[in-house]
Structure 1
Amino acid sequence: MIKAVVSDFGGVVTLPLMDAFKRAHTEIGIPIEALAKAMALVASRADEPPLWTLERGQMSEPDFIAVIAGGLSEVLGRPVDLDGYGARLMASLEPNEPLLDHYRALRARGVRLAILTNNVREWHDAWRRKIPVVDELFELIVDSGFEGTRKPEPQIYELTLSRLGLNADACAFVDDVEVNVTAARQLGMHGIHFRETSQVIAELDALFA
């Protein structure tokens, strides 16, 4: 019996993250395609992508931004200033209201709700202020930036299950990144790969029928 839904934040509780990135990059005049090239460039020079290190809280946001700005400068052939980038990105987030309404309905039926997010420690207050319903709906928030582990590493799922006090097979897991869903399934959770809101709602309804 499913007792809880563990949900990703960005791209699930919010509308697609790429939309937020595109809005932020339009404002700062840097093509979104250049960001992808810069991320690949800096990742090729490190033991692992700096984003992963950032999301574990093992790199500060200013240090990460400096690395990405350097990569963008190389890609674009001009100096790049990313001052205020995180705040601009957080301001571009929009809630996924239809899914949040469905989560509310599940909670009214006694289903427990939690968030498991790969996120940035320094952005914590900003994203929770931006979508305050998070604190109203979800009894538990596990943020990789404070835990030293990130999805799809098994430790962060195990930590979430431990804090909920539930076995894996009592939890559904919703994420828009397929590798994160695969990792959850390997631990015994009921994984749902978010592709669109109506599809996730239908899969949740089937689980709770």
Structure 2
Amino acid sequence: MTEIRAIVSDFGGVLTSPLIGSFARISEDWDLPLEALGRAMQTVTERSGAHPLFELECGRITEAAFLEGLADALRDELGRDVPMHEFPDRFWAQLETNHELLEVLVALRDADYRMALLTNNVREWEPRWRSMIPVDEIFEVVVDSAFVGMRKPDPRIYELTIEQIGVPAEQCLFIDDMDVNITAARELGMAAVHFRETPQAIAEIHALLGRPAAA
């Protein structure tokens, strides 16, 4: 078994509470079916020729443009206005730091594993997510899709992260909550843990590293 020397972690949904919880709360508060949001996203895609979330997370459109496009599509879909300008504050208000997993990553950093953060994110949201965890104390490499112009599962963003961390893919352990992102990492030769819940992820991390469960 190849020795793991580096940990590459996602942020949202791994180092935070599940993202779907935030979406569900907003959906309930606004009486906004998630299916309607999905259809509105598709409408914007058809109008612009590009998926708006992908464009946002690659830094090619602004948060304001993204929200405005969705608001227009939702107005057409629902026949009423949805206050999408409130979405970022409401979304982030629901997220909590996953302190239990964060403690595991701190312990791995202290055990001399190389540490990288690889996140699909939004340029304007950087102050929000950085305020939730001590990013620079834990991670020596941070790769944010919005600043590098590509997003998971594009192999190039994994390759960039691997290059910056200076460890071969086969010696990297990747942690993410999205199956498609896990698949891409494994295709590049990385070991991977598909985060579903914290105890499961911690147990799998320890198993892959050959470390005691209480480490």
Structure 2 residue aligned with 1:39: 41
Shift of 1:196: 1.6
Report runs of 4+ in structure 1 exceeding 6 Å deviation: none
**Separation in 1, partners of 2:25, 2:139:** 28
CA–CA separation in structure 2 for the residues paired with 1:34 and 1:97:
33
Shift of 1:121: 0.6
Q: Which residue of 2 aligns with 1:194?
A: 195
1:2-151 superposed matches below 5 A: 2-129=4-131, 131-151=132-152
Cα RMSD (Å): 1.7
Instruction: Note the C-alpha offset of 1:181.
Output: 0.9
Q: Which runs of 5+ in 2 are unaligned?
A: 211-215
**SS of 2:174's equivalent?**
strand
In 1, the alpha carbon distance for the partners of 2:115 and 2:85 equals 35
Distance 1:101 1:113 in 2: 13
CA distance in 2: counterparts of 1:96 and 1:144, whole angstroms: 21
Residues 114-137 of structure 1, C-alpha deviations (whole Å, 9 max, x = no match): 1100001111111111x1333322
Inter-partner Cα distance in structure 1 for 2:133 and 2:153: 26
The DSSP-based 3-state class of the residue aligned with 1:142 is strand
The question of whether the paired residues in 1 share the 8 Å contact of 2:174 and 2:192 is answered with yes
Name whichever of 27-36 and 78-87 sits farther off: 27-36
1:11 aligned counterpart, secondary structure: coil
Q: State the shift of 1:46 in Å.
A: 4.3
Q: Which stretch of structure 1 is more off in the superposition, 180-189 or 84-93? A: 84-93
Report what 1:208 is aligned to. 209
Percent identity reads 49
| Per-residue deviation, 1:96 | 1.2
Q: Report the CA distance between 1:156 and its aligned residue.
A: 0.6
Counterpart contact for 1:24–1:92, Cα < 8 Å: no
Distance in 1, matches of 2:17 and 2:96, equals 6
CA contact (8 A) 1:87 1:126 kept: no
| Matched position secondary structure for 1:13 | coil
Cα distance between partner residues in 2 of 1:179 and 1:142:
18
| Structure 1: segments with no counterpart, 5+ residues | none
Alignment-mate amino acid for residue 165 of structure 1? G
Instruction: State how 1:155-194 maps to structure 2 within 5 Å.
Output: 155-194=156-195
User: How far apart are residue 36 of structure 1 and its match?
Assistant: 2.6
Task: Kindly state the Cα deviation for residue 63 of structure 1 after the two structures are TM-superposed.
Answer: 0.7
- 2:171–2:190: 8 Å Cα contact kept in structure 1? yes
Q: Name the SS for the 2:13 alignment partner.
A: helix
User: Aligned-pair distance for 1:84?
Assistant: 3.1
Residue-by-residue CA offset, 1:74-132 (whole Å, 9 max, x unaligned)? 22111223123223212221111221121122222222221100001111111111x13
Distance 1:73 1:103 in 2: 43
